[in-house]
Amino acid sequence: MAREHLDNSASPGLPVVAAEGEINGHWVVRAQGDLDSDSIDPLFLAMWQAVAGHGTVVLEASAITFADSSFPGLLIEVHQRTDLRIAAPGTALTRLLRTAGVDRVLRSFPTLDAALGALCDRRRPARRRVNLRASSPAVSREGRAAYLPPARSAGRLPRGRRAAPSR
C-alpha cells in the first residue's frame, strides 16, 4: 500500500488577508477564512508591517470562519506593540477570545465603523501634575489647587528619627 504525501500547506482557496489599507488615518487589515498555525503567516506579516508603520491597527474580522490558538497569541503580541482594535468578530471568534481569556485585554467592536469611530472620538486624558515631594494641597486666590511642601518644625526631627551623637 503506497502512502500519500500529506500536504500541510495553506488551502489554495481564498487568501487569509483580504485587504489592507488606511481609513481615516488608521490602518485596517481585513482577514478572512480559516486561521490556523499553517495558514496564519500572511496575516502575521500583514499585522507586523502595520505595527511598524502605524500607531493604531484595526483588524476587521467579520469574514474569519475559524481560528485556532495561534490567533489569540498573534493578537496579544500585536496589542502589546500598538493600539489594536478588533472589528466585527463573529460568534466563534468571540467565543475563542473569551475562552482564551484575552477578551478582557483586547478591545472589540460590533462594526468597523464603531472601531474607527472609537478611535476618532478618543480624547487624550489630561496629564496629572505629580509632585514628587510630600506635599499638602492648598487653594490659591484663583481657586485652583496649589501644592505646598509640608511645614516643618525648626530643630525637630521626624518621629522615630534620632539625632546623630555629637563628638
Domain boundaries, given as residue ranges, for the chain = 17-121
* pLDDT beneath 70: ranges in the chain: 1-13, 119-167
Residue pLDDT, tens place only, 108-139: 999 999 999 875 545 443 333 333 333 334 44
pLDDT at residue 10 in the model: 44
What is the CATH superfamily name and number for domain 17-121?
STAS domain (3.30.750.24)
> Distance (Å, rounded) from C-alpha 97 to C-alpha 75?
10
pLDDT at residue 3 in the model: 38
Q: What is the pTM of this model?
A: 0.64
Q: Calculate the CA dihedral of residues 59, 102, 76, 108 and round it to 10 degrees.
A: 20
DSSP letter string, 91-120: HHHHHHHHHHT-TTTSEEESSHHHHHHHHH
pLDDT at residue 160 in the model: 56
* Residue 23 CB burial class (10 angstroms; 0-12, 13-18, ≥19): middle
pLDDT at residue 27 in the model: 93
